[in-house]
Amino acid sequence: MHTSSPPLAPPTLEVTALQTSFIYKRFSVKAVRDVSLRLERGKTLALVGESGSGKSVAALSLMGLLPPAGRIVGGQAVYRQADGTTHDLARLQRRQMRRLSGPDLAMIFQEPMTSLNPLLTVGDQIVEMLLTHERLSREAARKRTLDILRLVEIPAAERRIDDYPHQMSGGMRQRIVIAMALVCNPALLIADEPTTALDVTIQAQILDLMRRLQAELGMSILFITHDLGVVAEIAHQVAVMYAGEVVEQAEVGQLFSSPAHPYTQGLLSSIPHAMRKNPEEGRRARLNPIPGSVPPIHALPEGCTFRPRCPHSEQRCTLPVTLETAGPGHRTRCWKWEAVQWSTRH
């Protein structure tokens, strides 16, 4: 699962230098300053970042769901269909986007109720979705709906199909949303913190389900999360965001074992882990968190945005940094990535 295969086939999604701003009357804010991602066919790319990193805005930009003030001001996001046709998601009109969503693109969100109509039964909603995109009879659509509900392991699906969303638990609703997203067999699934609101045993069920469905249906998943544990569970590739930029992208094993950006390194050493407890000293060992806090998006430092919090920073870090290659499929936005990698190993 975690072996990196050479990228032979063109990727399902390739985002290059995406920039998104919120433009108000008196001022504008660049929430996404430079996001470049590469999602291989049939793989899962996790987009990780803390609050304010811009990961959700980046996802909304790709899905054409930005709020009115939000605008994509640069870059491209090329989605490649199975037959090779490409679409730039950053430039699609709302109508073209709508045609793509369903059979090509699907999304799931943190709060399942935002995607469910409380006035319709879950079955009707999925049937509607099918009828919009495929030429089917209502009976056939209902049968497909029942199949997909069984696929996402809704117990007693033939009975629950006529339930309303409010009659279900949070975990059940998230399954319904996944069923709805997958019923048209999309090639690309964008999931924005789909398990964050769920309890850990339910989260395990949903992650397991998503892994299994990916193996069966072969879709590519862009998985947005803040939880590095979840990343390790589900991702093949990881992109780390900080202050509106992707600062590192790597294959998951590579990222966890030899991070090449000090921010990634800091995130990993912030994770509480019992192994760090040191009973001999009679005093519990401390975590090693990143000092300071994320700079406000309107007052970013010059050059590398992580510089003020970085233990490796030096004079040249005040100069603008670009993504550099740190190995096969491994890119980092740091001048000193070799020193950073070396410091992890020792």
DSSP letter for 4, please. P
Task: Pick between residue 21 and residue 332 the one whose CB is nearest to another protein.
Answer: 21
Q: Which residues pair with 49 in a beta bridge?
A: none
Residue 288 CB, nearest approach to another protein (Å): 7
Residue 155 CB, nearest approach to another protein (Å): 8
**Which amino acid appears at position 116 of this protein?**
L
Q: Which residues pair with 240 in a beta bridge?
A: 48, 248
Task: Pick between residue 53 and residue 220 the one whose CB is nearest to another protein.
Answer: 53
DSSP string, 114-166: GGS-TTS-HHHHHHHHHHHHS---HHHHHHHHHHHHHHTT-TTHHHHTT--GG
Task: Pick between residue 98 and residue 273 the one whose CB is nearest to another protein.
Answer: 273
Residue 10 CB, nearest approach to another protein (Å): 25
Task: Pick between residue 7 and residue 296 the one whose CB is nearest to another protein.
Answer: 296
Per CB under 8 A, residues contacting another protein are 2, 22, 24, 27, 29, 31, 50-52, 54, 56-57, 155, 169, 171-172, 199-205, 207-208, 226-233, 235, 252-253, 256-257, 266-274, 276-277, 283-284, 286-290, 293-294, 296-298
Distance CA 51, CA 33 (A): 15
Task: Pick between residue 55 and residue 331 the one whose CB is nearest to another protein.
Answer: 55
Residue 272 CB, nearest approach to another protein (Å): 4
Distance CA 268, CA 258 (A): 11
Residue 162 CB, nearest approach to another protein (Å): 20
Task: Pick between residue 253 and residue 303 the one whose CB is nearest to another protein.
Answer: 253
Task: Pick between residue 11 and residue 266 the one whose CB is nearest to another protein.
Answer: 266
Residue 81 CB, nearest approach to another protein (Å): 30
Residue 290 CB, nearest approach to another protein (Å): 5
Instruction: Compute CA distances 270 → 228, 265, 289, whole Å.
Output: 10, 9, 5
227 CB neighbour count, 10 Å cutoff: 15
**Which amino acid appears at position 178 of this protein?**
I
Distance CA 116, CA 104 (A): 20
Radius of gyration over alpha carbons of the chain, in Å?
A: 21
DSSP letter for 290, please. P
**Which amino acid appears at position 303 of this protein?**
G
